[in-house]
Structure 1
Amino acid sequence: MITVVIPTIGRASLADAVPAGVPVIVVEDTERRGPAAARNKGWRQARTPWVVFLDDDVVPAEGWLEAVVKDLADLPEDVGGSQGRIEVPLPEGRRPTDAERNTAGLADADWITADMAYRRSALEKVGGFDERFPRAYREDADLALRVMAAGFRLVKGERVTRHPVRDDGFWASVRFQRGNADDALMRRIHGPGWRSLIGAGGLLPRHAVTAVLGLSAVALAVAAAGKGGGGATRGAARKGGSARNRAAGAALLAGTGWAALTARFAWERIAPGPRTPAEIVRMLVTSVAIPPVACLHRLRGELRERW
């Protein structure tokens, strides 16, 4: 009835992701083409009516196989997919970190391929995953929207899959901003209202304001620090000094706005967490870096889609 497809980049956690008692196709992404391409390669090898996609860093709960069979049994033909329930185990005795909260958000996300079953006929009708999505980001939401646009319904099952929190390092939240480039592709495919279709929020408009204020503050400060030529007349020198004073005032205003928005962003990330010294330092440093990096990746994505 089902085949499980798991794309992997060679994580040691793969062994825990493979369920027993069911055909499993593991596709190693050796060429780093991304999970969309790997999943396509996997499901096209399957011959069962249903294909269940799992990630290589999840752990199906005990009794998962029986539960997924029950979830899929007797579903009407217009149901093209069924999502498992994702649980993210968080540490006890302290508040979760920013990274742990981000992972915990998977528990409320719609149609993510941490555990997502699709009817093979639905995959065939829409052509599977769009391989223009190069990373594990938005490729699952894009597929879900196209499957629903093709006339299928998506439902949620009762099976449970756990998604442990990984330690991706100090700069993980900055690296994750690469996904902003893929948002440009989502907008091109599904229109400007795509976020509302999948229930996704976004901070990019605020990040853009923060980045513009920061760059403006630097540029104006450089202009204010400039000196007029040595041969300038007294009147020209007065005009130059007045211009530099205006630039200095504008730099102070822009810098204050940048600092206020950056402090707000950092506190939004610090306040719900454990507030340990290490976590506070990481949030402060990465909160400075994220707005411009997010904007640069979005700009890169927009340019890629235009050309």
Structure 2
Amino acid sequence: MDQTHLGRSGLSVSRLCLGTMNFGWKTSEEDSHAIMDRAHTEGVNFFDTANVYGFDAGKGRTEEVLGTWFAQGGERRDRTVLATKVYGGMTDWPNDTFLSARNIVRACEASLRRLQTDWIDLYQFHHSDPATPWDEIWQACETLVAQGKVLYVGSSNHAGWQLAAASESARARHFTGLVSEQSIYNLLVRDIELEVLPAAQHYGIGIIPWSPLQGGLLAGVLAKADGDRRSAEAAQQRLEQHRPAVQAYEDACAEWGLAPADVGIAWLLTRPGVTAPIIGPRTMAQFEGSLGATSITLEQAQLDRLDELFPGKQAAPMEYAW
């Protein structure tokens, strides 16, 4: 597994990021531990989670599953670049959500307890909070960094102008600021090419794409009988909206002798500014299936064809200005 730097930082991470959102509620603790062990065996050292993950099993459950895995020892924690997030409400109380200094600090301490670790490598803002000034956000982060509880800070679901505002505010405080941004990015959803990607590249912020296969639409959904996914009304509506392009995509992948899921992730690995797409397996088989993407080198003719099927966007303002 190749490694790369996370944005402009000196931190080395694998080109695939293991998303753990299913762990602890859709994936049993035992199976989750097995997937994480296999990830290390395959050279995947970058794990992503969030304090709110756990859903039906309760918020925080996913972090607890990672914590019991770390507690087994065997250098599991030392060999993992651990990323988690803060923003979503953990209780109904008003100050246990968003990005106030109070919530950032207290949520970090709670995550550390659940994760059974002394530090978080990458602490991310799960969503933007326009109501909280960046000076307050950075004040809290500076405290956590000074205490050794957080090493790097990233964002998720932020606009390009917010990346710029965050970076300039951090610069004024002589603080490192953001080193990464998690955004939805795949062949079907290329909106970040307008503003987010250019801003991220300007400020040395690495992009971590989530939903690299757009909820399975780019994973060969037409060619396989995936009853659970295709029976879901929302997924079926998305499929019908994009059916012609998805069919042409699957036809192209079949022509190339490649799995659609592998092509979707391999394409992201060619995109400027992308650090590591997030793969979020529910089973070991799904995790193993994602590994093939890193061994694929797409030729320019294939990249051009993908652009024809799924047109991208020029960086603003060139996309819409004369």
Shorter-chain TM-score bucket reads: under 0.3
Instruction: Please identify which structure carries the higher helix content.
Output: 1
The structure with the largest alpha-carbon Rg is: 1
Q: When the two structures are superposed, what TM-score results if normalisation uses the length of structure 1?
A: 0.27
